[in-house]
Amino acid sequence: MSLKEEIQNIGRRARKAALQMARIETAVKNQALMRMADSLLASRETLRGENEKDLNSAREKKLSHAMIDRLTLGDSAVKEMANGLREVANLADPVGEVVRMWKRPNGLQVGRVRIPLGVIGIVYESRPNVTVDAAGLCLKSGNAVILRGGSEAIHSNRAISAILQSALKEKGLPIDAVQLIPRIEREAVYEMLCLEDSIDVIIPRGGEELIRFVVENSKIPVIKHYKGVCHIYVDENADLKMAEKICINAKVQRPGVCNAMETLLVHEGVASRFLPRIYKSLEEKGVELRGCPRALEALPHIRAAGPDDWGREYLELILSVKVVSNIDEAIEHIETYGSMHTDAIITASYERAQKFLKDVNSSCVFVNASTRFSDGQQLGLGAEIGISTTKLHAFGPMGLEELTTTKFIAYGDGQIRE
Amino acid sequence: MSLKEEIQNIGRRARKAALQMARIETAVKNQALMRMADSLLASRETLRGENEKDLNSAREKKLSHAMIDRLTLGDSAVKEMANGLREVANLADPVGEVVRMWKRPNGLQVGRVRIPLGVIGIVYESRPNVTVDAAGLCLKSGNAVILRGGSEAIHSNRAISAILQSALKEKGLPIDAVQLIPRIEREAVYEMLCLEDSIDVIIPRGGEELIRFVVENSKIPVIKHYKGVCHIYVDENADLKMAEKICINAKVQRPGVCNAMETLLVHEGVASRFLPRIYKSLEEKGVELRGCPRALEALPHIRAAGPDDWGREYLELILSVKVVSNIDEAIEHIETYGSMHTDAIITASYERAQKFLKDVNSSCVFVNASTRFSDGQQLGLGAEIGISTTKLHAFGPMGLEELTTTKFIAYGDGQIRE
């Protein structure tokens, strides 16, 4: 069997499993999720052994410390994965929910009912925990999933997916509802992206390069975000103490993630007071500031920002700073350089809070809160399968509901169209 | 300026107009819609003249009578277009609606607010009324639209879009919110489908060939349906009088549209009673029946259905008929041969009604009602921009709401992430 045929078979089996999964009762899905959690914990030894193979070749290939860190499946990582599955079991099942129902003048009762999307394809990089998280969310939402993790985690992922499949089997669910592409060739991803008849949506998770590869090669719709260039705009009459606290949190608490702040916009009326203050706190945390000419007036000792600094996702302890004349300039800057991810305003003005919420076109727009809340768990979706910064189907953090769609149903008693 | 540059300019202007349109108040949008309606009526003479040019070349090219009919812009067609715009003005504005709002344990108030998609691309065939209908719906939902009608309607479409643009201008709205691709070359469509940075979604409207061309060449997400192969399943204990009335309506009332019935499935327990009865009524209306071997037992004089008859969209007075042993066989037949458009069951059984609604994966699933209700207007969406038979973003008839998405907003009072 060729690689192409092998991948096509995986797709066909997933499509068949998806039809079954759409009909499975909530309780059975939850039992399978709990069983998966138990099995993962019971298989820590096996997982450690398989993970060791991946770690060995990672060390041989001299992968970075950060990558090896992400790859490592210690006891605490396994425990976290199991807990994640249990949390998903406790979430409400979106499938079957009647979103709305109304009556037509002819007596026809029309409604929209939530149904699974079908088959979800996940393409991701080294973290083996994505295998578990994504499988859990897709299962709970009644979908089948095809997983394609990074080649460097292949032994770990194979071991995990075998555990998940045996839990499915034990609970009478189709094992093809969770399938891993077991091949490490990049060509396998390419073949997966051609399965337009078998896969309904592709969600890539990883760096910008991976996502571009997926978008360029996929014949299947892709839900994605390339990067997060998040802004905070400190307005003229912001509570500067609050602004400071939020800016530090947004920049420093976890600088390597997509919802960390990358650019600070400050109203000219408070720049001379706020900038020296925030500079001091950020410098203590090791943050490098890069300023526009007007920011340099208040902070003459920082580095000047170059044209490349606007719209740049540093993902480290660097922050670009720009002084703006008013909220319109702030919004225009975000429109020009932002990534439609998450942007926040700090203000005491009711009017400007409302204006910012209305006019900023990002998937998450916050008032007086840290950009770090842009996350499915934090916003109350229960869990997150990914983030979308394009508007079709989903915009912003995606939870269980975003793995579903609705169909129309109608209860009639003989209605015909006149 | 090359064709490519010309199309790219249209895209850039649309993107800019979309940003403005997203912020326009409902009342202003409604005034523009009403103005458009008035202007169309006032310009009947001009429209007739331009339409005559299209009709002349259509006659020269010896286009079919049906095509010339669709192309003709008589007074009643113009009146209908104007009425359509007024109806859209009367619909609720989806933009700005807070779909849901909830409070997090840390006090953060999180909500989802409806916003426009941005720029919608419509690719369609001869009917010039689509120019008006699509422009009205996109305008009301705060989007900009790029229209590409059939080359055979180019004079009519140019005249219509000039009228629509001048109404926009009169009401202070950006004229680039409604743009027509003024070129007849097919290459222009191709260039339009490459504007992934300027257009958010493409909605093709027309025959299967057009839609396949769009899907194969588009770099932009496409919302589409290829065809409607609608089934009605007459269950064992259906009210046969009701079944007859609905089947005749679904097949005969307008056979050339996508929500007309193409295949009738009949439970074996009622086949010998129902088939002769429905045959008689359908024959009177000029419908040709094509039956499976078991249907031929009840109707020995009809033509035998070939393998090509299942899953076929006749769009004319032909109906394939199959006798099934039970509801499972009916659902499996729909699963195999259906097009995920619209399928209905006629039954008096509560249990089987619920089973059919749950297990049939089509975008519209009806009980005891004609498939002909699968239409935005009929289902109560107010109007229809198109139908989707794929599950991403929208599934089934699409109204104003489907031309929007939601963004997350959050009202905080200093929340930071721990």
Q: Look up the ipTM and state it.
A: 0.95
Task: Establish if B391 touches chain A: CB-CB under 8 angstroms.
Answer: yes
pLDDT score for A344: 98
The Cα A230–Cα A338 span in angstroms is 7
pLDDT above 80: residue A126:
no
pLDDT score for A242: 98
- Which band of pLDDT confidence, cut at 50, 70 and 90, is reported for residue A207? confident
Q: What is the pLDDT of residues B6-28, one digit of tens each?
A: 999 999 999 999 999 999 999 99
pLDDT score for B67: 86
Task: Establish if B366 touches chain A: CB-CB under 8 angstroms.
Answer: yes
Contact B393 A393 (CB under 8 A): yes
Contacts of A412 (CB under 8 A, 6+ apart): A107, A108, A109, B366, B367, B368, B369, B373
A241-245 LR contacts (CB < 8 Å, sep 24+): A242/A346, A242/A368, A242/B413, A242/B414, A243/A274, A243/A278, A243/A346, A244/A274, A244/A277, A244/A278, A244/A281, A245/B414, A245/B416
Task: Establish if B45 touches chain A: CB-CB under 8 angstroms.
Answer: no
Indicate the SS3 state at residue B201.
strand
Partner residue opposite A365 with nearest CB, options B362, B395, B409: B409
Mean pLDDT of B389-410: 96
- CA A267 to chain CA mean position, Å: 31
Q: What is the pLDDT of residues B317-327, one digit of tens each?
A: 999 999 999 99
Indicate the SS3 state at residue B306.
coil
Considering only alpha carbons, which residue of chain A is nearest residue B344? A410
With beta carbons under 8 A apart, name residues in chain A contacting B407. 361-365, 395-396
Give B293 to chain A, closest Cα distance, Å. Answer: 28
Task: Establish if A257 touches chain B: CB-CB under 8 angstroms.
Answer: no
Burial code (b: 16+ CB inside 10 Å, e: under 16) for B393-406 equals bbbbbbbbbbbbbb
pLDDT score for B359: 96
Q: How many CA atoms lie within 13 A of A20 on its CB side?
A: 17
Q: What percent of chain B has pLDDT over 70?
A: 100
- Which band of pLDDT confidence, cut at 50, 70 and 90, is reported for residue A206? confident
Task: Assign a CATH topology to domain B230-378.
Answer: Aldehyde Dehydrogenase; Chain A, domain 2 (3.40.309)
Contact A369 B397 (CB under 8 A): no
- Which band of pLDDT confidence, cut at 50, 70 and 90, is reported for residue B126? confident
Q: What is the pLDDT of residues B225-251, one digit of tens each?
A: 889 999 999 999 999 999 999 999 999
Task: Establish if B301 touches chain A: CB-CB under 8 angstroms.
Answer: no
Burial code (b: 16+ CB inside 10 Å, e: under 16) for B160-176 equals bbbbbbebbeebebbbb
- Reported pTM: 0.94
Mean pLDDT of A187-194: 96
Give B9 to chain A, closest Cα distance, Å. Answer: 18
pLDDT score for B267: 98
Task: Establish if A221 touches chain B: CB-CB under 8 angstroms.
Answer: yes
- Name residues 95-154 of chain A within 8 A of B (Cβ): 96, 102, 104, 108, 110, 113, 115, 117-118
Contacts of B109 (CB under 8 A, 6+ apart): B101, B102, B103, B410, B411, B412
Radius of gyration of the CA atoms of chain A, in A: 24
Quick one: angle between helices A75-90 and A44-60, nearest 10?
120
User: Which residues on neighbouring strands pair with residue B146, listed in sequence order?
Assistant: B121, B179
Mean pLDDT of B342-369: 98
Q: What is the pLDDT of residues B64-103, one digit of tens each?
A: 888 898 899 999 999 999 999 999 999 999 999 999 999 9
CB B161 within 8 A of CB B180: yes
Query: What residue spans in chain B does CATH classification 3.40.309.10 cover?
Result: 230-378
- Which band of pLDDT confidence, cut at 50, 70 and 90, is reported for residue B2? very high
Contact B370 A113 (CB under 8 A): no
Task: Assign a CATH topology to domain A3-224+396-409.
Answer: Aldehyde Dehydrogenase; Chain A, domain 1 (3.40.605)
The Cα A255–Cα A247 span in angstroms is 12
Average pLDDT, rounded, for chain A: 96
Give A120 to chain B, closest Cα distance, Å. Answer: 11
Contact B415 A379 (CB under 8 A): no
pLDDT score for A368: 98
pLDDT score for A208: 87
pLDDT above 90: residue A367:
yes
Contact A407 B364 (CB under 8 A): yes
Mean pLDDT of B281-304: 97
pLDDT score for A173: 98
Candidates B373, B374, B375, B413, partner chain A, best to mutate (most A CBs within 10 A): B373
pLDDT score for B288: 98
Task: Establish if A301 touches chain B: CB-CB under 8 angstroms.
Answer: no
pLDDT score for B1: 86
pLDDT above 80: residue B217:
yes
pLDDT score for A308: 96
Give B54 to chain A, closest Cα distance, Å. Answer: 33
pLDDT above 90: residue B303:
yes
**φ/ψ bin of A223: left (φ > 0), alpha (ψ from -120 to 50), beta (otherwise):** beta
With beta carbons under 8 A apart, name residues in chain B contacting A242. 413-414
Q: Which CATH architecture has domain B3-224+395-410?
A: 3-Layer(aba) Sandwich (3.40)
Considering only alpha carbons, which residue of chain A is nearest residue B240? A414
Query: What residue spans in chain B does CATH classification 3.40.605.10 cover?
Result: 3-224+395-410
**φ/ψ bin of B177: left (φ > 0), alpha (ψ from -120 to 50), beta (otherwise):** alpha
- How many interface pairs between A and B have CB atoms less than 8 angstroms apart? 196
pLDDT score for A373: 98
> What is the phi/psi pair of residue B254, to 5°?
-160, 85
Q: What is the pLDDT of residues A265-309, one digit of tens each?
A: 999 999 999 999 999 999 999 999 999 999 999 999 999 999 999
Q: What is the pLDDT of residues A153-163, one digit of tens each?
A: 999 999 999 99
- Which band of pLDDT confidence, cut at 50, 70 and 90, is reported for residue A192? very high
CB A112 within 8 A of CB A138: no
pLDDT above 90: residue A336:
yes
Mean pLDDT of A375-400: 94
Q: Which two tokens stand for residue B316?
A: 């004319």
Query: What residue spans in chain A does CATH classification 3.40.605.10 cover?
Result: 3-224+396-409
The Cα A40–Cα A79 span in angstroms is 8
Task: Establish if A411 touches chain B: CB-CB under 8 angstroms.
Answer: yes
pLDDT above 80: residue A185:
yes
Helices (H), A203-305: 208-217, 240-252, 268-284, 293-298
pLDDT above 80: residue A389:
yes
Mean pLDDT of B202-222: 92
pLDDT score for B57: 95
